[in-house]
Amino acid sequence: MRQARLLGKGHCFYHCISRVVDQRFIFGTEEKEFFRKTMRNLEKFTGVQVVTYYIMDNHIHLLLGVPDKDELPPLNEAELLECLSAIYDAPTVLGVKQELQRAAEANNPNGHQEIDPAGESVESDRATSPALPCNAVLERYEYRRGSLSEFMKSLKQRFTQWYNRTKGRKGTLWESRYKSVLVEGAESALMTMAAYIDLNPVRAGVADTPEEYRWCGYSEAMAGNMVARTGLGTILSETLQDSGIRADWRRTHKRYRQLLFEEGEEVGEDERNGRPGRKGFSREKVEEVIARKGKLSVP
């Protein structure tokens, strides 16, 4: 029997993990890029924020910020069309647009406001036809916003459909439903979890530093992606206390890089106590980053 997930109240953060069936190594460059693109598009549509992530050859780690649904402003017609364009093709978006126009026309038989691609309204005198009210169309998509389960389900399903179509295969691609852990506490707990995720490429021996591994949140932020930088900035204490505060990447980066190297120091094997070794940064490298307080040199 499936156990119910532990869900928090209000704005919460979750560490989510999902593995490929039979531990198969299916994620190559093309697969990782498609997964990352799909993840970012769903982030825009659902409002679930990707704080950081790690895509390995056979599994994924995500640290997600799930907003308080009660605080999400309701969708209007223009916003819905903008959100849909992130995850649906043009014919599908056009179909929803036309459905909204028919609904508006049914509610206003003397003429209604059509929505042009720029989100502006234009007058129309088209004949009326039976249609759902606009709010019924909006509600069909509204429930998916701010939902952890809808985000993860759509992400895995969309990747599976694309992968199966591309590879000419059928059937399930994921080992089981995703695992999620509610990350409670203040800034320190969230920063430590984010560092754990971004350090995976170093621990696995596929990169010397996190920024050298293309498919993790820290590397994307270092490459200049503002969405990735904003994601890491949301777990600072000031932004946790006031969501209206915009984090400064220069400050976020220095603090986070120092934490990455402190948490990522290599650990030697201890045969006497049976403790395995752990790949990471040399003590000299850690001390160098600490001395610079996480600041990077100009080169």
pLDDT reported for residue 144: 83
The residues pairing with 275 across neighbouring beta strands, listed in sequence order, are 270
Are residues 26 and 106 both part of a single domain? no
Last residue of a domain, one of 126, 156, 184: 184
Are residues 261 and 202 both part of a single domain? yes
Are residues 51 and 150 both part of a single domain? yes
Are residues 26 and 122 both part of a single domain? no
Higher pLDDT, 123 or 192: 192
Does 71 map to a domain?
no
Are residues 179 and 37 both part of a single domain? yes
Does 93 map to a domain?
yes
Mean pLDDT value of segment 208-218: 95
Are residues 180 and 203 both part of a single domain? no
pLDDT band at 280 (very low <50, low <70, confident <90, very high): very high
d(CA 17, CA 137): 33
Say what the pTM is. Answer: 0.84
Are residues 53 and 94 both part of a single domain? no
137, 144, 145, 109: which is closest to 125 by C-alpha? Answer: 109
Residues 6+ apart with CB under 8 A from 7: 148, 182
Last residue of a domain, one of 142, 168, 193: 142
Mean pLDDT value of segment 36-46: 94
Does 70 map to a domain?
no
pLDDT reported for residue 112: 45
Per residue in 67-116, pLDDT (tens digit) is 988 777 777 888 888 888 888 888 988 998 888 888 877 766 554 444 55
Does 230 map to a domain?
yes
pLDDT reported for residue 156: 97
pLDDT band at 185 (very low <50, low <70, confident <90, very high): confident
Are residues 293 and 201 both part of a single domain? yes
The number of C-alpha atoms within 13 Å of 74 and in the hemisphere containing its C-beta is 9
pLDDT reported for residue 229: 96
Question: What's the domain count of the chain?
Answer: 3
Are residues 200 and 256 both part of a single domain? yes
Instruction: Determine the Cα angle at 45 with ends 235 and 59, to 5°.
Output: 65
Does 271 map to a domain?
yes
Domain CATH number, residue 45: 3.30.70.1290
Higher pLDDT, 69 or 180: 180
Does 69 map to a domain?
no
% the chain with pLDDT above 70:
87
pLDDT band at 277 (very low <50, low <70, confident <90, very high): confident
Are residues 195 and 262 both part of a single domain? yes
Q: In what order do the strands lie in the sheet with 179-182?
A: 49-55, 59-66, 12-19, 179-182
Least confident of 27-31, 129-133, 191-195, 215-219: 129-133
Does 2 map to a domain?
no
Mean pLDDT of the residues in the chain: 86
d(CA 58, CA 297): 35
Q: Is the pLDDT of residue 47 over 50?
A: yes
Tell me the residue range of the domain where 251 lies.
185-299
d(CA 264, CA 127): 66
Last residue of a domain, one of 142, 165, 195: 142
Are residues 163 and 16 both part of a single domain? yes
% the chain with pLDDT above 90:
56
- Tokens 């598009």 locate to 41
Does 154 map to a domain?
yes
Are residues 196 and 264 both part of a single domain? yes
Q: Is the pLDDT of residue 6 over 70?
A: no
d(CA 81, CA 117): 8
